[in-house]
């Protein structure tokens, strides 16, 4: 897994257990692009799909919204490092993902 958010992909980003899965910060039709852009986090199966409704990333609406925001921020940060202005980076994200979460 290539992640632009962390170089520590062997450990769950939430609890530190060994990674067993990849959490895509943007899902649905954007999932493939998110994977290409490294908008992923290493997670253990417990944190990713936990049976307890609000403890699982995918069952917690606030966690999902925060993941989308984090993904956009990471994408824009990388674009700025590549020489885009902040406004250009935001527009680049909007064009690629057809959404804006910030």
To which residue do tokens 């999902």 refer?
A: 64
Handedness of CA 21, 26, 28, 31 (dihedral sign): negative
CA distance 17 to 102: 30
Take residue 14 and report the two structure tokens written for it. 């939430």
In a domain, 82, yes or no: yes
State residue 58's pLDDT score.
Answer: 76
State the total domains in the chain. 1
Beta-ladder partners of 24: 40
In a domain, 11, yes or no: no
In a domain, 53, yes or no: yes
Residue pLDDT, tens place only, 19-59: 999 999 988 888 899 999 999 999 988 888 775 655 677 77
Nearby residues of 88 by Cβ (< 8 Å), 6 or more positions away: 79
In a domain, 35, yes or no: yes
In a domain, 83, yes or no: yes
Take residue 62 and report the two structure tokens written for it. 């606030």
Look at residue 50 and give its three-state secondary structure: coil
Strands 40-43, 21-24: pairing is: antiparallel
Q: What domain range is 42 assigned to?
A: 21-97
What's the whole-number mean pLDDT along residues 54-75? 86
């Amino acid at each position: 897994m290539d992640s632009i958010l962390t170089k520590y992909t062997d450990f769950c980003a939430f609890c530190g257990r060994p990674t067993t899965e990849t959490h895509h910060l943007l899902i649905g039709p954007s999932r493939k692009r998110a994977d290409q852009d490294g908008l992923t986090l290493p997670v253990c199966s417990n944190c990713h799909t936990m049976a307890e409704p609000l403890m699982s990333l995918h069952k917690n609406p606030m966690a999902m919204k925060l993941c989308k925001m984090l993904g956009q921020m990471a994408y824009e940060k990388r674009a700025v490092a590549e020489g885009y202005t902040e406004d250009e980076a935001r527009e680049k994200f909007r064009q690629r993902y057809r959404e804006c979460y910030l």
